[in-house]
Amino acid sequence: MLFDQPGIPEETVVAVRKSAKTGRLPQSVLLTGGEDKLRLLCGKELAAAVLCDSPVEGCPCGKCKSCKKVKAGSHPDLVAVMPAEGRKTVSKEIISEQVVEKLYVAPNESENKVFLFPDAQDLSPIIQNALLKSLEEPPPFVMFVFLCNRRESMLETVISRCTEFSLGDLQAESKKKEAMLALQTAADLARALCGGTEFDLMLAAAPMQKNRSLMKKTAECFALIVRDAMAANSDAAFLSQHEREALLLNSRCSVTALLKMKDAMEEIRSYADNNANENLLLSKFTSSLFNAMQAEEQRT
């Protein structure tokens, strides 16, 4: 089955399979998002689907000569449009020689032929413009497949001539993961601070190593735990999702110490915004919390 890979949004899988089943895969496809490997795999699957000698419901059989050649990258009717050796980007000459001049040349072995652009995000606007005419009215046996990790690098005029399938929003996915990790790290820091040694605190802070953005997010989460700790004796609702850690801080720290921690977190956030050195920032993160706690212990 087409796009039989984990992580691809359900609606994309449904849409691709539906159009393959009716034998109507779009002539120009833009695959966006997902990881590079997945995108290439899906692009090749689409190519195999239209080049296969005996497709079943629009899906490549995976066994015929054509399918095997697509997989091996040796099918004469699958043209991967890539930069010339030693060059970083696809030149206008390549577009002319490999695409524009060959557009109406009949396929060699299969009934169709596919122009695959494995790194469409690197195509300059000039190159994309040079492709527009070909995209507009391709002969019926031609399919274009653009693989692109940054949709915003594609011209609207190109996007509008393609059917777009998203393989998942990696950015949203990684942001979500980071937010979860920040929540977890902030809670670990609070527990280490209340019960552990300076070494425990460093261990809890380890995920933030060389990750300025995670430090910033963790500082925000930790500031919320501190805020909850300060409000724990009132009727205010908990905001940090870490009630237990907030109560722990509340039981161990004076308001003065909590205020110091809150200020420290604000400082970390502003340093992180100003691109402070990551190693120094991490050490400031742990030492400022540790010092606030130490002052507390000396006081009592």
Q: Is 52 in the site for Zn ion (CB under 5 A)?
A: yes
Using an 8 Å Cβ cutoff, are 113 and 145 in contact? no
User: Counting contacts by CB under 5 A, is residue 67 touching Zn ion?
Assistant: yes
Among 64, 79, 94, 247, binds Zn ion (CB under 5 A): 64
Q: Identify which of residues 52 and 201 has a Cβ nearer to Zn ion in the complex.
A: 52
**Distance, C-alpha 13 to centroid of its chain:** 18
Among 13, 15, 61, 259, the residue binding Zn ion under the rule CB under 5 A is: 61
Which of 51, 131 has the CB closer to Zn ion? 51
- Map residue 105 onto helix, strand or coil: coil
Give min distance, CB of 127 to Zn ion, in A.
Answer: 32
Nearer to Zn ion, 50 or 264 (CB): 50
Q: Tell whether residue 78 is a contact of Zn ion (CB under 5 A).
A: no
CA distance 85 to 88: 8
Residue 49 as a binder of Zn ion (CB under 5 A): the answer is: no
- Judge whether 2 and 45 are in contact, CB under 8 Å: yes
Distance CA 192, CA 188 (A): 6
Assign residue 212 a region (left: φ > 0; alpha: ψ between -120 and 50; beta: otherwise): alpha
Residue 50 binds Zn ion (CB under 5 A):
no
27-35, 56-64, 126-134, 288-296 -> range binding Zn ion (CB under 5 A): 56-64
For residues 1 and 23, give the distance between their C-alpha atoms in angstroms, rounded to a whole number.
14
In sequence order, the 6+-apart residues with CB closer than 8 A to the CB of 55 are: 49, 61
Number of residues binding to Zn ion, judged by CB under 5 A: 5
Nearer to Zn ion, 64 or 181 (CB): 64
Indicate the residue among 63 and 176 with the shorter CB distance to Zn ion.
63
Which of residues 52 and 186 has its CB atom nearest to Zn ion in the complex?
52
* Site stretch for Zn ion (CB under 5 A), options 67-75, 109-117, 254-262, 266-274: 67-75
Contact 166, 154 (CB under 8 A): no
The alpha carbon torsion through 15, 18, 20, 23 (nearest 10 deg) reads -130
d(CA 165, CA 20): 13
Please state the closest distance from residue 67 (CB atom) to Zn ion, in A: 3
User: Cα dist. 183→139, 197, 199, 222, 230 in Å?
Assistant: 54, 21, 20, 8, 18
Stretch that binds Zn ion, among 50-58, 90-98, 104-112, 127-135 (CB under 5 A): 50-58
Q: How far is the CB of 58 from Zn ion (least distance, A)?
A: 11
Instruction: Tell me which residues touch Zn ion (CB under 5 A).
Output: 52, 60-61, 64, 67
